[in-house]
Copies of this chain bind each other. A is one copy, B any other.
């Protein structure tokens, strides 16, 4: 790459019109000179060939992605990921900020993903590993996105719960039960204190548990539980399915009493969620299937808090994502950044409720509260509620008791002395 070729892909951010660009932040490793690798990265993701043969033109000024900051953070004796490098010499670990003109694709999720995480980014000459860390959106771009219809406030309004975390429970056995006993489990969970009883991410509209019948029975059980407890309750139905069935399943479930809907958004594509958001009458909840394959590897793929941010932008009111603990393989800082991606100001887009998941039980709510520094989150245990030795009613009660202990500033063990459900939960875990 010649100096002239390279310099067209560099710019001073101060001289650019901020409203016209997304700012993309990447980490990458290269065995090439870092500035050349960064210029290639811009070229490959925007105007790869910027002039016609025999025509005196340069399309880079308007359409070229441009390096606005480049820092070499690390130097390696040889590439970190040898199979992805084209040679095995000294390698640089770099952080780059790129201003990408969003008129190249417009406010569209699939086209944006093509530019920021497509062939251009992942097959750029000289770059071995690359991770897309963040995207900053100007108002001019963000204004085209609807974001959550209800958000944290709308979700809380529906439950009339404002001063504590929300208690989700994943109804288990998650797979295999017909709707009737399944509804009975949810009913017991609501009686015990769940705010939201939910279908597992694996339970869709299947022949042995048709969504129509399940929503009917759980809708009725919910109303009964509301009557008995005097509390508002939510049945969160999983409508994950082929995208041309999402609106139909929305209607089937909502008409029968599901009052929130879950979709495994990466398996349908985030664009389908944006479509559903325009139609939905109830809050939408994200589950994180098919995200780990491109987020878990350090320094490669896409940074998980950015995926959370995108899920908020397309319209999820609550986002279940990998939380704290070794099984979820997600560094604590990423779990926190995802909570921030849900809650931090983002143009006109409402906040989403963060729901860090994985091996939750009565004892984890206090920890989460301390780590997140807010009550605006959900916890989403499965077996801790539905395999509780006193049954789902006892399991759900233990969750509420675990939080009461936090509220009263009492140790879990002390509070358990007078609360047998909590006591049994502690014994079950240890």
Contact = CB atoms under 8 A, between A and B. Distances in A.
A272 B243 contact: yes
Nearest to A205: B106
Given A46-B175, A275-B243, A110 B267 contact: yes
A333 interface: no
Contacts of A290: 113-114, 117-118
A119 B243 CA distance: 20
Total identical chains:
2
A206 interface: yes
Contact of A383 (B49, B270, B278, B293): B49
A241 interface: yes
A175 B63 contact: yes
A292 to B, nearest CB: 4
Given A111-B267, A267-B113, A275 B119 contact: no
Interface string A265-281: 00111111011001000
Interface residues of A, number: 97
B108 A275 contact: no
A109 interface: yes
Contact of A243 (B115, B271, B358): B271
A46 to B, nearest CB: 6
A388 B207 CA distance: 57
Nearest to A170: B48
Interface in A191-230: 200-202, 204-208
A48 to B, nearest CB: 5
Contact of A293 (B45, B122, B206, B358): B122
Most buried by B among A46, A63, A119: A119
Most buried by B among A202, A241, A322: A202
Contacts of A20: none
Most buried by B among A108, A110, A181, A392: A110
B175 A104 contact: yes
A71 interface: no
Interface in A352-368: 357-358
A83 B298 contact: yes
14 contacts: A47-B176, A49-B387, A52-B173, A54-B391, A104-B175, A104-B202, A108-B204, A108-B241, A110-B264, A113-B267, A119-B287, A123-B327, A123-B329, A294-B294
- The 9 A-B pairs of least Cβ separation, nearest first, read A269-B269, A118-B289, A122-B292, A59-B176, A293-B294, A110-B267, A49-B172, A63-B176, A294-B294
Given A59-B176, A114-B289, A114-B290, 13 more contacts: A48-B382, A48-B383, A49-B174, A50-B176, A63-B176, A110-B240, A117-B293, A119-B288, A242-B275, A244-B278, A267-B269, A268-B271, A294-B294
